[in-house]
Amino acid sequence: MDRHIRVGARRRVRGAINLYYYAAPRTFYPLAGRMARVFYAVAVVLGAIGLYIAFFVAPTDAQQGEGYRIIFLHVPAAWMSMFLYVVMAFWAAVGLAFNTRLSSMMAQAIAPTGAWMAFLALWTGALWGKPMWGTWWVWDARLTSELILLFLYLGFMALQAAIDDPRRADRAGAVLAIVGVVNVPIIYFSVQWWNTLHQGASVSLTRSPSMAATMLWGMLVMALAFWMYCLGATLTRVRAIILERERRSDWAHELALGKERDA
Amino acid sequence: MKWESLGQFLAMGGYALYVWGSFAVTVAVIAVELALLRVRGRAARKAAAAPPEGDAS
């Protein structure tokens, strides 16, 4: 009984790696595993460097003392929460437009990590707000729009979980994800558009950053570490999703049996 | 080294609760997410390894 489905695209076309080859869940599965290991390793290295800068190199802040060091976790988490949402909506939209299964699986894999990042941004923000503003929470534009971002992630996950047919769930989730994108620029520009308790951006593309160089470097290295971690976690999750959805296919069955024997 | 003692480092200039509270929860979130991923991956492999006939869902 040899009914292996032939993989449509060739791995290499005229010497170059053919990216369409990896658009099939079956071929992406092992690649995602190798990539995830690399991203985790880079995340650990960058995280160690970033934390060293954060706690041992960056100077004490003139106004906020040592309390400002929350920035090294807060800003990377907040950036990732917004960035991941855009990436999630992008893959959801690609899946909706071109009916590519793997794109929709990527969107589904990103959502929980994005939700965790939004939660961390809110949590570290509350712990920063209490000593500096005197309150854990305030309904200002920045905080409220970030909370809405968390609810968008949770809504996307709940909607997908509520629909049994995965392809229908993908389409419904994609519409929600795409509509919710409008919230991301609202979060980003909220500190300019409204009079918020939250401070303005410390880092901007158009002017020099309003912080010491070592603080900035620590923050950027930590942001990269968070990014690499999120890539690793997303790819690990997409592997699980691929197996969940393809579990009736021969390749997934044989792969799982091989894994079971090895384990 | 900018810290004179371990105690001073842990005190974080009086912001220990806020700085370490942020740090601890971040570490916990990463640990929980990785643990959940492990469980989910194992369950997916087990489901795919099961014979197709016995799969009702």
What are A198-221's pLDDT values in tens digits?
888 777 666 666 778 889 999 999
Q: At A3, is the pLDDT very low, low, confident or very high (cuts 50, 70, 90)?
A: very low
Identify whether B17 is part of a domain. Answer: no
d(CA B44, CA A247): 8
* Span of A122-126, A207-211, B25-29 with lowest mean pLDDT: A207-211
The answer to whether B30 contacts chain A (CB < 8 Å) is: yes
User: Which 8-state DSSP code applies to residue A7?
Assistant: P
Q: Which domain holds residue B36?
A: 25-50
Identify whether B10 is part of a domain. Answer: no
Structure tokens at A80: 């990732």
- For the four alpha carbons of A38, A40, A45 and A47, in that order, the dihedral sign comes to positive
A112 CB neighbours in chain B (<8 A) are 33
Identify whether B30 is part of a domain. Answer: yes
Structure tokens at A108: 């589904």
How many domains is chain B partitioned into structurally? 1
* Span of A7-11, A177-181, B36-40 with lowest mean pLDDT: A7-11
Q: Name the phi and psi angles at A254, rounded to 5.
A: -65, -40
pLDDT score for A202: 75
d(CA A198, CA A211): 16
Least CB–CB distance from A113: residue in B15, B17, B33 = B33
Q: With a threshold of 0.80, does the pTM exceed it?
A: yes
Residue A91 in this model has a pLDDT that exceeds 70: yes
B5 CB neighbours in chain A (<8 A) are none
Identify whether B34 is part of a domain. Answer: yes
pLDDT score for A234: 98
Chain A: closest CA distance from residue B5 (Å): 12
pLDDT score for A100: 92
B31 CB neighbours in chain A (<8 A) are none
Q: B53 or B41: whose pLDDT is higher?
A: B41
pLDDT score for A9: 60
Residue A236 in this model has a pLDDT that exceeds 60: yes
- For the four alpha carbons of A33, A36, A42 and A45, in that order, the dihedral sign comes to negative
Residue A14 in this model has a pLDDT that exceeds 60: yes
Q: At B5, is the pLDDT very low, low, confident or very high (cuts 50, 70, 90)?
A: very high
Task: Compute the CA torsion angle A206, A208, A214, A218 (nearest 10 deg).
Answer: -10
A61 CB neighbours in chain B (<8 A) are none
pLDDT score for A262: 56
Identify whether B15 is part of a domain. Answer: no
User: What's the mean pLDDT when you consider all of chain A?
Assistant: 90
CA distances (Å), origin A184, targets A19, A82, A94, A231? 29, 6, 19, 20
d(CA B32, CA A241): 18
pLDDT score for B27: 97
Rounded to the nearest angstrom, the gap between the alpha carbon of residue A261 and the centroid of all alpha carbons in its chain is 33
- Cβ of A247 within 8 Å of Cβ of B44? The answer is yes
A78 CB neighbours in chain B (<8 A) are none
Mean pLDDT of A191-195: 86
Least CB–CB distance from A65: residue in B15, B40, B50 = B15
Helix (H) or strand (E) run with residue A13 in it? strand A12-13
d(CA A115, CA A109): 11
Rounded to the nearest angstrom, the gap between the alpha carbon of residue A110 and the centroid of all alpha carbons in its chain is 5
Q: At A23, is the pLDDT very low, low, confident or very high (cuts 50, 70, 90)?
A: confident
Mean pLDDT of B22-47: 97
Chain B: closest CA distance from residue A109 (Å): 11
Identify whether B32 is part of a domain. Answer: yes
* Span of A4-13, A18-27, B48-57 with lowest mean pLDDT: A4-13
The answer to whether B23 contacts chain A (CB < 8 Å) is: yes
pLDDT score for A19: 73
pLDDT score for B53: 59
Q: Are A113 and A230 in contact (CB under 8 A)?
A: yes
Rounded to the nearest angstrom, the gap between the alpha carbon of residue B52 and the centroid of all alpha carbons in its chain is 34
CB neighbours of residue A169 within 10 Å: 17
pLDDT score for A207: 67
Structure tokens at B20: 């370490």
Residues in chain B: 57
Residue A148 in this model has a pLDDT that exceeds 90: yes
